[in-house]
Amino acid sequence: MNILMMTNTYWPHVGGVARSIAAFTACYRARGHSVLVVAPEFPGMPEDEPDVVRIPAIQNFNGSDFSVVLPVPGHLERAVRQFEPAIVHSHHPFLVGSAALRVASWQSCPLVFTHHTMYEDYTHYVPGDSEALKRFVVQLSTSYANVCDHVVAPSESIAGVLAERGVTTPVDVVPTGVATAEFAHGDGRRIRDWLGIPTDAPVVGHLGRLAPEKNLTFLADALARLASARPEAHCLVVGSGPSADDIARVFEQADVGDRLHFAGQLSGRDLVDAYHAMDVFAFASLTETQGMVLAEAMAAGLPVVALDAPGAREVVRDGANGRLLACQDAAAFAEATAGLLALDGDARRQCREAVAATADRFDRQACADRALAIYQGLESGTSWDEGEHDAWHRSLRRIRAEWDLLKGVAQAAGAAAGLSEDEPEEGGDGPSAL
């Protein structure tokens, strides 16, 4: 099967979406499928990338880690026609996502959309951030989902949110999953020696993009409290981003800055070893769609302390494989983390068994099976018009795609302005009736 992946973010950008696409792409290719990835240009990207088409983009939009894609160049259309996709899989509703809808229309193939992100939690990167803008992006992403043939939700929580927002397209839950065997063994001592962390010190770790929407000031407060109460404890942070200085400031103000260690962005064996340098994984984000780093941590044998939120609640079972806290209370978070560090005997053994069982549930190969089953069902269940009128039907599909995009923007603008969604639109359904 020829699978076309279209995304606004990809390597060398480090983030959940890029990692998800790379993971599924590797699984599909290992099973004999062909995958073409369409992604923006990024500084530091490899010079030679087989089966990747890069398109121009404005980098680091408004101080963020994200890019804004420029008008799609002609070489993309040529590459796509040569590839002849059976499935187009869009990973964003905006920018490249719009191009994905157009590509699916003129290639007459199904469009799948993964709702990776709670987009309203990222509007602070846009000038003029407001509640109206949040409503706009929610409605726009919902409208986009409803013109796709199938939607993938990374967790049950997100599937529920999509249903509440009015997504009527079929939705299946497919987490990204982790390569559990790769994370099972690592050299944590190597990372500790590199960063100057004592071999026998209890270490609480965190991994991810260090950005405001990840609730890292709260996490830093909780872990600085832990470090103050336990002079032998150290904290290891893996990742980079604008919130790194805020984290460091919190630790310095608590006079425990010497026990905070930044490893920067890591990948491959270094990333696995970093997990194994930790004893407990801490996570405080409220904006995730799935708990991929939590599953990775558990594949490395780590219990997790997290706030009860989408993504985390699908992975963490309170009192079994970690702690899942209902309230955002820094003192309670620190106490729960200290409790996991102190586990011994039967309690520690039972926790490790629960952690291992959770890691098995999120094995990447099983997740790839579920995604491929969706593709195959769409491919076998789609009957496109062929024959002498084929060009006419393709033209109608392209017109409808453009109409759907415009209609989605209009509906989102109405939602942002607080207009009633029940009010009929002048002119009926337009080309969508074709």
- Span 227-234, mean pLDDT? 97
Q: Tell whether the model's pLDDT for residue 206 goes beyond 90.
A: yes
Q: 425 by DSSP, 3-state: which?
A: coil
Q: What confidence tens digit (pLDDT) does each residue in 397-409 have?
A: 544 544 454 554 4
Superfamily of domain 180-362 in CATH is Glycogen Phosphorylase B; (3.40.50.2000)
Show me where the domains of the chain are located: 2-177+365-433, 180-362
pLDDT at residue 266 is higher than 60: yes
Cα 66–Cα 72–Cα 73 angle in degrees, nearest 5: 125
How many C-beta atoms surround the C-beta of residue 433 within 10 A? 8
Question: Considering the chain, what percentage of its residues have pLDDT values greater than 70?
Answer: 80
The pLDDT value given to residue 42: 81
- When pLDDT is averaged across residues 171-184 and rounded to a whole number, the result is 93
Is pLDDT larger for residue 135 or for residue 153? Answer: 153
Token pair of 140, please? Answer: 């726009």
Q: How would residue 353 be classed by pLDDT, with cut points 50, 70 and 90?
A: very high
- Average pLDDT, integer, range 91-111: 88
Alpha carbons 159 and 137: distance in angstroms, whole number: 17
Distance CA 323, CA 375 (A): 36
The CATH architecture annotation of domain 2-177+365-433 reads 3-Layer(aba) Sandwich (3.40)
* The pLDDT of residue 62: 47
> What is the structure's pLDDT at 59?
54
Average pLDDT, the chain: 84
Cα(304)–Cα(31) distance, rounded to whole angstroms? 33
pLDDT grade for 226, boundaries at 50, 70 and 90: very high
Statement: residue 55 has pLDDT above 90: no
Q: Evaluate whether 205 touches 236 at the Cβ level (below 8 Å).
A: yes
Q: Are 189 and 199 in contact (CB under 8 A)?
A: yes
The residues, any chain, with a CB within 8 Å of residue 190's CB and separated by 6 or more, are 273, 277
Question: Taking the model in full, what pTM does it have?
Answer: 0.69
Q: What is residue 120's predicted lDDT score, i.e. its pLDDT?
A: 57
Asked, colleague to colleague, whether 2-177+365-433 and 180-362 share their fold, the answer is: yes
**Hunting for tokens 């392209």 — which residue is that?**
398
Whether the predicted pLDDT of 431 surpasses 60: no
Neighbours of 343 (CB within 10 A): 16
Task: Assign 385 a pLDDT band (cuts: 50, 70, 90).
Answer: very low
Kindly give the residue spans of alpha helices, DSSP state H, lying in 170-317.
Answer: 180-183, 188-195, 216-229, 244-253, 268-276, 292-299
Residue 133 and residue 170 in contact, taking contact as beta carbons nearer than 8 Å: no
Quick check: 422 pLDDT over 80?
A: no
* pLDDT at res. 421: 46
